[in-house]
Amino acid sequence: MNNKIERKFLKIQDMILDDLLSFESKKYRKLIVDNWKSRIGKGKTCVIENGSVFEKAVVTFSSVSGKNLPTSSGMSEKIHKIHKFKAMGVSVICHPKNPKVPTSHFNVRTFMIFDKKGLQNWWIGGGCDLTPFLPYKSDITLWHSSLKSMFDPFNKTFYRKFARECDKYFFLPHREERRGVGGVFFDNLKYKDHADSLNLLECLGKTYIQTYSKILKRRASEKYSKEQKLFQQIRRGRYAEFNLLHDRGTKFGLDSGGRVKSILSSMPPSTSWTYEMPKELKRYETKLLKTLKESWVI
C-alpha cells in the first residue's frame, strides 16, 4: 500500500516540476536533485536556483514515520495508543524574479496511523495560496475560479469552506495582515475512501500548476523597475515571518526531526527588512494592503 501511495505523490511532484522547468531556458537552468534518507524517512528535494524566471522554486517529496505523533500534526490529542505514524506529501514554493509574478505555495499530504494490527486511521490535508506583490485582479480571480471549478465536482461546499479557512490560516497576527490573496487550505479531511482522497490531492496539484502557469505566462516577461523589485524584497519579509512563526508544515518538519535544509528550503532566497517603508514605495504598499483586505472568495 505504501509504495502505491508513494508513487502517487511522486507523480504529483514530477508533474509540477516538469511544468516549472518548462519556463526556464536551458542556458540558465540549474536544477539540484537531492534524493535523501534520514533516520525518520526519505525524500526527494528538487530546487531551481537563479533561473531566468525563478530566483528559487522548490518541489519536495517526503515520507517520514515515527512512534510519537508531533503536536503540530493537529491530531495528537485525538489519537491514542498508536504503534506508529506515517506522513507523506509534496510541497512546492515558487519565488519568481519578476515582482509582477506572485509567489505561490502548494502542499498536499496524508497522515496514516497504525496500531499493531495495521492501519487504524488516516486523513489528508493541503492547499495552495497566492502571494502577490504588485497585484492584478485578473490573476486573483483566475486563481479562485480555477480552484472552485476543481472542488465543485467533489463537493459543492468544499471550495468556500477551504477558501475561508485559507484566509484564516495564512494570517500574520503581529502585522494584522493576510499573507496573500488566499486560495484553499484544509486539514484532517476524509473524502470517501483513501484512494478517492488521494485522487482529490492529485486534481488539486493539476489545478495549481495549470493556473499558476497561466499567470506566469502573463507576467514573467513584463518589464519592472528597481523600485518594484525593492518592494518585492521588503514584502518577502512577511512571507519569511509567517513560515518561521506560524506555518504548521515547518513546525511539523522540525518537531519530527526532519532535514532542516529541506524544511527551510521554502524560505525566500533574498529579502529585506526596512525600519520604514521608503516613501517612493508607499503607493505600492497602499494598493497591496487594500487588495489583501478584500475577500476574494467566490
- How far apart, in whole angstroms, are the C-alpha atoms of residue 196 and residue 155? 12
In a domain, 73, yes or no: no
80 is catalytic: no
In a domain, 238, yes or no: yes
- How far apart, in whole angstroms, are the C-alpha atoms of residue 97 and residue 99? 6
Residue whose C-alpha cell reads 501511495 in the numeric block: 5
Structural domain harbouring 281: 2-62+90-107+130-293
Q: What is the pLDDT along the chain (298 residues), one digit of tens a residue?
A: 578 999 999 999 999 999 999 999 877 778 999 999 988 899 999 999 999 999 999 999 999 988 766 555 455 445 556 668 899 999 999 999 999 999 999 999 999 998 877 778 899 999 999 999 999 999 999 999 999 999 999 999 999 999 999 999 999 999 999 999 999 999 999 999 999 999 999 999 999 999 999 999 999 999 999 999 999 999 999 999 998 888 877 877 777 676 788 778 888 888 999 999 999 999 999 999 999 999 999 9
32: left (phi over 0), alpha (psi -120 to 50) or beta: beta
In a domain, 124, yes or no: no
pLDDT of amino acid 79? 55
In a domain, 83, yes or no: no
- How far apart, in whole angstroms, are the C-alpha atoms of residue 207 and residue 154? 14
- How far apart, in whole angstroms, are the C-alpha atoms of residue 114 and residue 101? 43
H helix intervals, the chain: 2-21, 137-151, 158-169, 194-219, 226-245, 248-255, 260-263, 282-293
In a domain, 118, yes or no: no
In a domain, 74, yes or no: no
Instruction: Give CA separation, 159 vs 141, 144, 180, in Å.
Output: 14, 9, 17
Q: Rounded to two decimals, what is the model's pTM?
A: 0.92
Query: Which positions ≥6 away from 12 have C-beta within 8 Å?
Result: 90, 108, 201, 202, 205
- How far apart, in whole angstroms, are the C-alpha atoms of residue 222 and residue 231? 16
Helix (H) or strand (E) holding 111: strand 103-115
- How far apart, in whole angstroms, are the C-alpha atoms of residue 81 and residue 93? 35
In a domain, 75, yes or no: no
Q: What is the CATH number of the domain that holds 265?
A: 3.40.1500.10
Total domain count, the chain: 1
In a domain, 283, yes or no: yes
Candidate list 83, 105, 174, 194, residue with the active-site label: 105
Query: Which positions ≥6 away from 257 have C-beta within 8 Å?
Result: 38, 39, 40, 66
Please state the three-class secondary structure of 19-49 as a single string.
Answer: HHHCCCCCCCCCEEEEEEEECCEEEEEEEEE
